[in-house]
Amino acid sequence: MYFNRLLLLLSFSLLLLGGCGSGDSGRTSGNSTVQPFTKEEKAFVHTLFLTEYLWYEDVPNQIDPDTYKTPQALVAALRVNPPDRWSFALTAQEYENYANQKSFGFGIGCRLDFTIDMVHIGSPADGKLLRGDQIVGINGKSINYELLQNLSQQLGKSATFSVIRGGEHIDVEVVPDYYTFRVVEPEILNINGKRIGYLRYDAFTGTSVDALENAFTAFRQAAIEELVIDLRYNSGGTVTAASILLDNISSGQPGARQFYLDWNENYKSRNETYYFSTEVEPNDLNMHRVFFLVTRDTASASEIVISSLKPYLGASNVITVGDYTHGKSVGMNGRSYGSNYYFLINFYTRNTNNETVSFEGIPPTCTAQDDLSHQRNDPDELMLHTALEYIRTGSCP
């Protein structure tokens, strides 16, 4: 189980960029001690790149590992870019925080103009700040990135946000703190006499599996007729969670291959195949069509789930709404040294037809903008509305 937790189909760079003055990356609040980046550890990282790394033959040979002062700087220098935009290093604490859905701060993500696009479920901002709020100031000061970052780390100290909501200026108090966030939020929508399951799924964490199973239990009990899965900011996560989601969606091919992991030629013994469960669980659905809400932030595990369904449901029944996805058809097997974890690209992910997702991403079936003027589960939100219109008419609006 521990090994599976470290097999990641994740674009962690997206996760790190998703925060907006909060600890959404899972980083600690600055109280941890930075460990020395030793010569031995640098040699360890270099060896990983020359052996286990998927593109080991193309690693730059002019790099002197001893000249790099941080793990991430060395990883960035050694990775083969293009195509590798993803290999990264982080501390053990950062990884554990992500894996256990723990963070600190306000719990928001926002655009460059400080319009909030995401609020972590269960964070201090949840129920207070809303998607679509544009932050114009905090504590009477005009908004800027440094102010937001600094206040997010003053844990337990209330901050007054001045935001524009629906054309009106309002003040909202939020107290940054440590929190455990949720990544699963299901809802049953009754639209034009149809029962539609809507699932917001923000990350394929190992600790999300129970909530994921509960969501599908609710869908099964409600006898949903259509399924919409919102992956618009889901940058990926564990292989195991991706496999379980596939089981939940489609129970019509017990024992069939879902996808497999294809290592470099020296490590083919590590290739691994994931299968649909041979036993149908009480909460497993047998959907014949699925809608996915996607953006350029939809990556990795999200993409292999979409790709893996197409051979079984048919490409015309796996409908993506939004934009191209991120384009990450590769994954990592985390390795640790001292207090650091190293996630280097180790393998391609391939569906049962030996197909990988293009580095350009999965093109949308129906194009739709991410509509910040509505909450994600609002039937009038443009991406969700487009999926619902497709359900109603059989085509993109």
Name the pairing type of β-strands 159-165 and 141-142: unpaired
Whether omega for the bond prior to residue 83 falls within 30 degrees of 0, making it cis, is: yes
pLDDT value of position 4? 33
pLDDT value of position 99? 80
B/e letters for 305-336, b = 16+ CB within 10 Å, e = fewer, are bbbbbbbbbeeeebbbbbbbbbbbbbbbbbbe
16 confidence band (pLDDT: 50, 70, 90): very low
Mean pLDDT to the nearest integer, 344-365: 97
Name the pairing type of β-strands 116-119 and 108-110: antiparallel
CB atoms within 10 A of CB 180: 13
The per-residue pLDDT for range 166-211, each reduced to its tens digit, is: 999 999 999 999 999 999 999 999 999 999 999 999 999 989 999 9
Contact yes or no for 262/290 (Cβ under 8 A): no
29 confidence band (pLDDT: 50, 70, 90): very low
From the list 267, 355, 265, the residue with the least C-alpha distance to 318 is: 355
Report percent pLDDT > 70 for the chain. 92
The per-residue pLDDT for range 367-387, each reduced to its tens digit, is: 999 999 999 999 999 999 999
- Mapped onto helix, strand or coil, the DSSP state of residue 332 is strand
19 confidence band (pLDDT: 50, 70, 90): low
Least confidently predicted of 26-30, 111-115, 212-216: 26-30
pTM for the structure as a whole: 0.93
The per-residue pLDDT for range 212-239, each reduced to its tens digit, is: 999 999 999 999 999 999 999 999 999 9
pLDDT value of position 17? 35
The per-residue pLDDT for range 58-74, each reduced to its tens digit, is: 999 999 999 999 999 99
Whether the per-residue pLDDT at 22 is higher than 90: the answer is no
The chain-wide mean pLDDT, for the chain, equals 92
- The domains found in the chain, sorted by start residue, are 2-99 (no CATH), 105-180 (2.30.42.10), 184-329+346-393 (3.90.226.10)
Give the phi and the psi of residue 223 in degrees, each rounded to 5.
55, 55
From the list 232, 227, 199, 241, the residue with the least C-alpha distance to 118 is: 232
